[in-house]
Amino acid sequence: MSTPIDISEQAGVRYLHFGSEWIQGAMRLRNPNALELTYTREMMAGLLLKPDHWPRNALLIGLGAASLTRFLYHHCPQTRLHVVEIEPRVVAAARQFFHLPEDDRRLKITIADGARHIFEPGPRYDCILVDGYDRNARAGALDTEPFYLAVRSRLSEHGLMAVNLFGRSRGYKASLERILRAFDDRALAFPSCDSGNVIALASSGDPLSLSLAEIRERAQALKTRTGLDLLPTVTRLEQAGSLPGGRLLL
DSSP reduced 3-state for 128:
strand
d(CA 29, CA 133): 24
Q: Using DSSP, state whether 227 is helix, strand or coil.
A: coil
Q: What values do phi and psi take at 193, rounded to 5?
A: -70, 170
Cβ neighbours, 10 Å, residue 73: 19
- Residue 57: alpha-carbon gap to chain centroid: 14
Give the chain's end-to-end CA distance (angstroms, integer): 43
* Pair 7, 97: CB distance under 8 Å: yes
Helices (H), the chain: 38-42, 67-75, 88-97, 114-117, 145-153, 172-182, 212-226, 231-239
Instruction: Return all residues near 247 (Cβ < 8 A) that are at least 6 apart.
Output: 209, 210, 211, 212
- Residues with a catalytic annotation lie at 131
- Pairing assessment for the beta strands 80-85 and 209-211 based on DSSP bridges: unpaired
